[in-house]
Structure 1
Amino acid sequence: MKAMVATGNATPSVELAEVEHPQLGPDEVLVKVEAYSVNRGETFQLESPPPGWRPGKDVAGLVVQAAADGSGPAVGRRVVGHPPQGGWAEYVAVPSHALAELPDEVDAVTAAALPLAGLTALRLLRVVGDVAGRRILITGASGGVGHYFVELAAAAGARATAVTGSPERGRRLTELGAAEIVQDVADAAGPFDVALESTGGANLPLALAKVAHRGRLVWFGQVSRQPATLNFFDFFAGPESATIRHFHYADSDVSDGEDLATLVRLVATGRLHPEIGEVADWTESAAVLDRLRDRGIRGNAVLTVA
């Protein structure tokens, strides 16, 4: 079968190649991929790909072989899945617990944009807890995670301030319920009950300084790739009894499949709207990855597999 494999080069970072057909474990389902989403974090992984690794964690398609142990969806079901790797391919093996079935209302392109960004946003909301009436700051908000989180949090009653690179990139976030759009963390009018920080570098201490008494900063990414330096004397002199928490989306007590089913249900009922900034044929993957890495795409980018 054909699949996108890492070249180890800056550009093109991937190329089409013939690879072996997936060998299924007893709890794995074989999915014929119709569409997959690419994430900015994957562009970083492609710079130094480990031996044997193939990219791809967000897929949507058709079940063509059910799991041998009887778990998961049956042959012929349309699904969205979150495999550990290898999703940028004609076929991929997906653990049955990392799949959700798709209703007719949700097409493959929309579904493919859900897994990594949607799971992250949903689980961030779970970590924050009751958001009704609370002020929340989120950095790096013009990506897929930011769009999902702002819409979910605003619907639950939060007052969200989103930090984006430009007013244009923030316009859609306003439509999704953001109370305020700023281009710099320093311009955000705090204090905030919770600051969600995904950029790292100088923004982390700036966001922490905006946290209210007994507030929280949740660190969930470092897309700037710049180390963050925190002066704890400033921290102790800042918001009293504030806390800092590291977040990783995979650390969840709820399975990927269960949370994907929740996201699918929200999309199907018109309560969640994936922001898809670009759709292209999968042969254009390398060029799309370049644009994504250079922040030329707002929201998610989805590739379709002919």
Structure 2
Amino acid sequence: MRALIPTGNPETLTELGEADLPVPQRHEALIKVTDIALNRPDFLYLSGHAKDYRPGIDAAGIIEQAAADGSGPATGSRVALHLPAGGAGAEYVAAAADRLAVIPANVESAAAAALPLGGLVAQRLLALAGPLKGRRILATGVGGGVGQVLIQLAVTEGAEITAVAAEGQPTEHMTALGAQVVLDIDAVEGGAFDIVLESVGGDLGSKAAHKLRPGGQFLWFGQAGGSPITLDFFNLLQGGTGLTLRHFVYADGDGSRDAGDMAELLGLASQGRLHVEIGRRGDWTSAGRALKEMSEGRLRGKAVLTVA
């Protein structure tokens, strides 16, 4: 079968090649893939040391053969799938029931494919933050797939969210979803936020921590800029008031919650309460170009490619 395979070339990263047709285990369904969504981890793995990594964490497709043990969706069902180890960029994949969720009839496959990783991160990050009604949130690095879902969920739950964006980065979609957008972290009011959600690192992430109110909560969930944050706790905690500092990893656990959480997100999309922005469409031969756009911050929303 055809599949996206790594090239080892930083200019192309991935190309169409040949891979073995998967042989499902008894608890796995065989899925014919129709759409794949690219995520930042795909770029990081392909451009890093994971030379055998095959891209495709999120996808949508049709159950070609239901699991032999009777678990999961029936043959012919349209499903979204989430494979944390990658490999969904192929004509066929095998996946267990806890990695699949049936797509509602009024949700297009491309939108369903774009939802899992970003949706799961946003959903679980906000759950960790606790009740959001009436709280002020400052968020960095939320211009992509995670951010669009996070903003919508936070606003729906009654929070006020301010997004810090980089100069030249597309921001109209963040404003349209209900966020206030700022381009200069130094212009943000200090000590005003109940929660800081930080995923960039470096100077920006370090300064964002100082925007917390006394007793606020700092949730760190990434380091997209490649530089670590540095925190001066003497200045940060002056006055003796504490704060909560937590590192968030969306995949904590065995993944058994994924199907249920994806179904909840797809339900919100079906009800019109969650919109998925797709900034780039095309067929999967353009995967390398889409990953380059993503790495340069030029992609608004998600990249979803058709498996032709």
Q: TM-score, normalised on structure 2? A: 0.94
Which residue, out of 262, 274, 277, partners 1:275?
277
The equivalences for 1:1-306 within 5 A come to 1-50=1-50, 52-83=52-83, 84-166=85-167, 169-178=170-179, 180-190=180-190, 191-237=192-238, 240-251=241-252, 255-306=257-308
**SS of aligned partner of 2:202:** coil
Distance 1:226 1:31 in 2: 39
Offset at residue 231 of structure 1 (A): 2.5
Distance 2:269 2:182 in 1: 27
Distance 1:49 1:264 in 2: 34
Q: CA RMSD in A?
A: 1.7
What is the one-letter code of the residue matched to 1:112?
A
Q: For each residue in 1:225-271, what CA deviation from the matched residue of structure 2 results, as whole angstroms up to 9, or x when unmatched? A: 11222223233327821111000111258611001001100001100
Distance 1:203 1:239 in 2: 24
Q: TM-score, normalised on structure 1? A: 0.95
User: For the Cα contact (< 8 Å) 1:37–1:59, is it kept in 2?
Assistant: yes
Deviates more, 1:148-157 or 1:167-176: 167-176
Q: For each residue in 1:253-294, what CA deviation from the matched residue of structure 2 results, as whole angstroms up to 9, or x when unmatched? A: 861100100110000110000011111110111111111111
What is the one-letter code of the residue matched to 1:276?
I
Offset at residue 175 of structure 1 (A): 1.7
User: For the Cα contact (< 8 Å) 2:42–2:57, is it kept in 1?
Assistant: no
**SS of aligned partner of 1:16:** strand
User: For the Cα contact (< 8 Å) 2:6–2:51, is it kept in 1?
Assistant: no
Deviates more, 1:235-244 or 1:276-285: 235-244
Q: Percent identity?
A: 44
What is the one-letter code of the residue matched to 2:275?
H
User: For the Cα contact (< 8 Å) 2:169–2:297, is it kept in 1?
Assistant: no
Offset at residue 25 of structure 1 (A): 2.5
What is the one-letter code of the residue matched to 2:40?
R
Distance 1:49 1:95 in 2: 27
User: For the Cα contact (< 8 Å) 1:119–1:259, is it kept in 2?
Assistant: yes
Distance 1:128 1:31 in 2: 35
Distance 1:63 1:254 in 2: 20
Q: For each residue in 1:42-65, what CA deviation from the matched residue of structure 2 results, as whole angstroms up to 9, or x when unmatched? A: 211101343543221101010111
**SS of aligned partner of 2:171:** helix
Offset at residue 17 of structure 1 (A): 0.7
Distance 2:239 2:306 in 1: 49
Deviates more, 1:210-219 or 1:234-243: 234-243
What is the one-letter code of the residue matched to 1:273?
H
Change (3 A) 1:254 1:203: farther
Distance 2:268 2:239 in 1: 39
Residue ranges of structure 2 left out of the alignment (5+ in a row): none
**SS of aligned partner of 1:169:** coil
Offset at residue 27 of structure 1 (A): 2.0
User: For the Cα contact (< 8 Å) 2:32–2:63, is it kept in 1?
Assistant: yes
Change (3 A) 1:239 1:101: farther
Distance 1:239 1:67 in 2: 57
Distance 2:36 2:271 in 1: 22
What is the one-letter code of the residue matched to 1:266?
L
What is the one-letter code of the residue matched to 1:25?
Q
Change (3 A) 1:111 1:239: farther
Alignment: residue pair count: 305
Deviates more, 1:180-189 or 1:30-39: 180-189
Change (3 A) 1:227 1:22: same
Distance 1:160 1:215 in 2: 15
